[in-house]
Amino acid sequence: MSGFRTKRLIVFLLKLKTKSMRLPLLLILLPLLALTTDAYIYGRNLRNRSRWVKILWWSVTAVVLVAVFVAVLFQFKFRGTIDINVAMWIFYGFFLVYMPKWFYSICSLFDYLPRLWHKRRGRWGHFVGLALSFYVMGSMLYGAFYARQHPVYNYRTITFDRLPEAFDGYRIVQFSDLHIETLGSAGRYLPRWVADIDSLHPDLIVFTGDLVNRQGGELPRYMPELSRLSATDGVYSVLGNHDYGDYYHWSSPAEQEKTLQQLIADEGRMGWHMLNNRSVWLHRGNDSIALIGVENWGMPPFPQYGRLAEAYPALNDSTFKILLSHNPLHWRHEVIPQSNIDLTLSGHTHAMQLKLGWKGFEYSLAEPMYPEWSGLYTAPDGRHKLYVNEGMGCVFLPMRIGARPEITVITLKKEP
């Protein structure tokens, strides 16, 4: 499938934003894929086995599908009535069972190619498929029970020609996308993460959105730990698409708005400064730079609450500017065409919590939808720069493969 077709497919799936469309799709596709896979493997390897082996095989299928049916139904028909972590682990269990089976099935199908030349069925696909399926299962277990709990610290030095002299060597710690409700057992590591960030003694700490997963009521139990974050110039944050509560079942729009305002107030009580379409000045001696923050700006189905010109009207003045904007697509669609903002910091993509890499080459399923999905990017003009943080939390599946939680330490340097 070409990159263009893949992008169109992802956009189509994202636009299935009503429960009336997503619910039938999941309830049809997941069982169909599972039953087709199990029927194939059964016919190839198990049809001549004992009755108890057959009963066990189909019993596992039934249990997994019933669990997924319940999780899908409650998440989309009765959103907010089931613990999100329960649903995530059910989906994880489904993919832990079936992802290895899918890889095995694809590989083993190649064993039937010799039949085209009237030869006996091969066996290489069977053995390659078995090895690959065990590798996939091991990667998923590692991603769920180790990788998502142990962040990586990425140190980046970024040079700018118009950085004020007093800010040469200025250190920024960026983290993003905590999705705090989904931390689950990983939440016990939060005190260590906070202590590690503080130990870096940064000049500035920024959080680039999605503090909560479904609604602001998730935050209070974690406020004591997050309140410990400190930096010379403070902690600043912006809202991400999940922070607005659009993925939760509300009794009324007024309740949703009240909870959003409570979230904003709670971040203030933690000592965080929210930049909701506004900006502040950071000073060093006689020099200063602008720190700008916008609310979430995304392509459909994600909302566009961000107002760049409202946050900082003089978008093309001579001031060195840093922008916090949750969705990296904002950089390509508005920041570059409308401003001379030097550095944009974003999150949102999670690198789809799945990143493949080999000798400098990296790929993620996020790439067809987000041309800038992880790391540092420079626009063709050489002036605009973007850093995309892969986030800390998880959505949908409680695992990270090749895309561990990220804490970024950025040092600003003035070009000689």
Structural tokens at position 315: 């978008």
Instruction: Give the model's pLDDT for residue 15.
Output: 45
The pLDDT of residue 67 is above 50: yes
The candidate with the shortest Cα–Cα distance to 345, out of 335, 357, 337, is 335
3-state secondary structure of 282: strand
Dihedral sign for Cα atoms in the order 306, 308, 310, 312: positive
Structural tokens at position 4: 């263009």
Beta bridge partners of 204: 172
33 class by beta-carbon count within 10 Å (0-12 exposed, 13-18 middle, 19+ buried): middle
The pLDDT of residue 384 is above 80: yes
d(CA 162, CA 135): 49
Q: How confident is the model at residue 25 (pLDDT cuts 50, 70, 90)?
A: low
Query: What is the bridge-based pairing of β-strands 375-378 and 385-388?
Result: antiparallel
pLDDT digits (tens, 9 = 90+) for 390-408: 999 999 899 999 999 999 9
d(CA 350, CA 209): 12
Percent of the chain with pLDDT over 70: 91
d(CA 162, CA 178): 33
The pLDDT of residue 19 is above 50: no
Ranges of H-type helices in 242-388: 253-269, 308-311, 329-330, 336-338
Lowest model confidence (mean pLDDT) among 13-27, 69-83, 156-170, 251-265: 13-27
Q: How confident is the model at residue 12 (pLDDT cuts 50, 70, 90)?
A: very low
Instruction: Give the model's pLDDT for residue 16.
Output: 44
Helix axes 124-145, 84-109, angle to 10 degrees: 160
The pLDDT of residue 8 is above 70: no
The pLDDT of residue 195 is above 90: yes
CB count in 10 Å sphere of residue 379: 15
Contact 202, 172 (CB under 8 A): yes
Q: How confident is the model at residue 77 (pLDDT cuts 50, 70, 90)?
A: low
Q: What angle do CA 8, 246, 185 make, to 5 degrees?
A: 95
What is the set of domains in the chain, with CATH numbers?
Answer: 3-145 (no CATH), 151-414 (3.60.21.10)
d(CA 349, CA 6): 16
End-to-end Cα separation, the chain, in angstroms: 46
Instruction: Give the model's pLDDT for residue 416.
Output: 83
Q: How confident is the model at residue 24 (pLDDT cuts 50, 70, 90)?
A: low
Beta bridge partners of 322: 291, 343
Instruction: Give the model's pLDDT for residue 313.
Output: 96
Mean pLDDT of 214-221: 93
The candidate with the shortest Cα–Cα distance to 273, out of 328, 321, 204, is 204
Percent of the chain with pLDDT over 90: 72
Q: What is the DSSP string of 158-170?
A: EEETT--GGGTTE
106 membership: H or E segment, kind and range: helix 84-109
Lowest model confidence (mean pLDDT) among 27-36, 113-122, 183-192, 256-265: 113-122
The pLDDT of residue 224 is above 90: yes
Instruction: Give the model's pLDDT for residue 18.
Output: 43
Instruction: Give how far Cα 74 sits from Cα of 92, 255, 329, 355, 412, Å.
Output: 16, 21, 32, 30, 47
The candidate with the shortest Cα–Cα distance to 261, out of 276, 251, 249, 250, is 276
d(CA 334, CA 324): 13
Instruction: Give the model's pLDDT for residue 73.
Output: 72
pLDDT digits (tens, 9 = 90+) for 29-59: 888 899 999 999 999 988 888 889 999 999 9
Contact 399, 143 (CB under 8 A): yes
Instruction: Give the model's pLDDT for residue 23.
Output: 55
Instruction: Give the model's pLDDT for residue 75.
Output: 65
The candidate with the shortest Cα–Cα distance to 239, out of 338, 348, 329, 315, is 348
The rounded mean pLDDT for the chain is 90
239 class by beta-carbon count within 10 Å (0-12 exposed, 13-18 middle, 19+ buried): buried
Look up the pTM and report it: 0.89
Q: What is the DSSP string of 189-243?
A: GHHHHHHHHHHT--SEEEE-S--SSS-GGGSGGGHHHHTT---TT-EEE---GGG
The pLDDT of residue 253 is above 80: yes
127 membership: H or E segment, kind and range: helix 124-145
Q: How confident is the model at residue 376 (pLDDT cuts 50, 70, 90)?
A: very high
Instruction: Give the model's pLDDT for residue 86.
Output: 86
243 class by beta-carbon count within 10 Å (0-12 exposed, 13-18 middle, 19+ buried): buried
Mean pLDDT of 249-275: 95
